[in-house]
Structure 1
Amino acid sequence: MSDLLDTIPIENIFRLAPGHNEAIPLFMSPAKAGFPSPAEPFIEQRLNLHDLCVPRHETAYFVKASGDSMTGDYIYPGSILVVDSSVDVDSGKVIVAAINGEWCVKRFVRVDTNLVMLESSNAAYAPIYVHTGDQFEVLGVVTYIVSRPPRYVRPS
């Protein structure tokens, strides 16, 4: 089962540490791919990523992703997921869940009242079906993804 799940080690799941949030400069000018204007490098305000990405600190977790089963949703190995346990789990949302004791990141799809499908966004991984009797626990819904840009591979 763990080959299908692309599991997350339990040590990659973190509670948020309250009070560790520092504001960083926010440049309101859009990033341009062309020639930048020399008159635009002024900080207009400061932005705190906790305030932007974590509206409810008491129900939030950080989860470090592993594996490549969710790359179609821009979740790469090492991506930091902001997970909120207070958000309703609806069909189509990306969640962090444990199935039979193994943690994973998958898209939640309710097939019918007795059947849930956990879907990867990488075609190399088959969907996983959660049946009555399986141990199934949802940590929360992924609300933000913090990642480095994917590595460029030059086409041959």
Structure 2
Amino acid sequence: MIYEKKCNFAANLVIMNEPEIKKADVSTELELPMYDAIAAGFPITSDYPADRLDFNRDFIKHPESTFYVRVKGDSMKEAGIFDGDLCLVDKAEEMEHGNIVAAYVNGGFTVKYLDTSTKDQGFIRLVPANKDFKPFIIDSSDEFTVWGKVIFTIRDWRNSYCLPL
């Protein structure tokens, strides 16, 4: 699915040979107990599961068009997406101005905010969430494909740093 189909952007978009992507396997259940709430302030009591959460059922709505991608770099850190995080990307989700998307630009892949506010001027932007990086300006001379909308991120906290003392 390319951006032109979703947002009517008249750029010279090129569909490249897509790398092999494993489709989400939702044939198995992975139900985990989900407790009602956990406080980030004063502790509250919640000692029994309120529900069951199945990752396949609750997070993957379009298995045929959903994939994971691991983030490399820190251009999206102010959006809470850090180096090493996993992004769950759905190609079937409608993409709109301001969404975080996985995109192919001129030979490389990136995760950025989609800025369509300038499409009437003949270009769009892929905007980082880090002031140390500049936006990508995309016009008709670029090879550009939106691969999908980032719908969830996952972070492995097992190797994260502890509270600085």
With normalisation by structure 1, the TM-score equals 0.79
1:122 aligns with 2:130: yes
Question: Residue 155 of structure 2 is aligned with which of 140, 147, 151?
Answer: 147
Partner of 1:93: 99
1:45 aligns with 2:51: yes
Structure 1 residues 133 and 21, CA gap change in structure 2 (3 angstroms) = farther
Question: Residue 31 of structure 1 is aligned with which of 32, 38, 46?
Answer: 38
Please tell me whether the aligned partners of residues 89 and 151 of structure 2 are also in contact (alpha carbons under 8 angstroms): yes
Partner of 1:133: 141
How many pairs were matched up? Answer: 142
Structure 1 residues 151 and 70, CA gap change in structure 2 (3 angstroms) = farther
User: Which protein is richer in strand relative to its size?
Assistant: 1
With normalisation by structure 2, the TM-score equals 0.75
Per the TM alignment, residue 82 of structure 1 is displaced from its structure 2 partner at its CA by 1.1
1:82 aligns with 2:92: no
Per the TM alignment, residue 62 of structure 1 is displaced from its structure 2 partner at its CA by 1.0
Q: For residue 112 of structure 1, what is the amino acid of its counterpart?
A: K
Unaligned runs of 5+ in 2: 1-17
Three-state SS of the structure 2 residue aligned to 1:96 is strand
Please tell me whether the aligned partners of residues 26 and 56 of structure 2 are also in contact (alpha carbons under 8 angstroms): no
Three-state SS of the structure 2 residue aligned to 1:62 is strand
Quick one: percent identity of the two aligned structures? 20
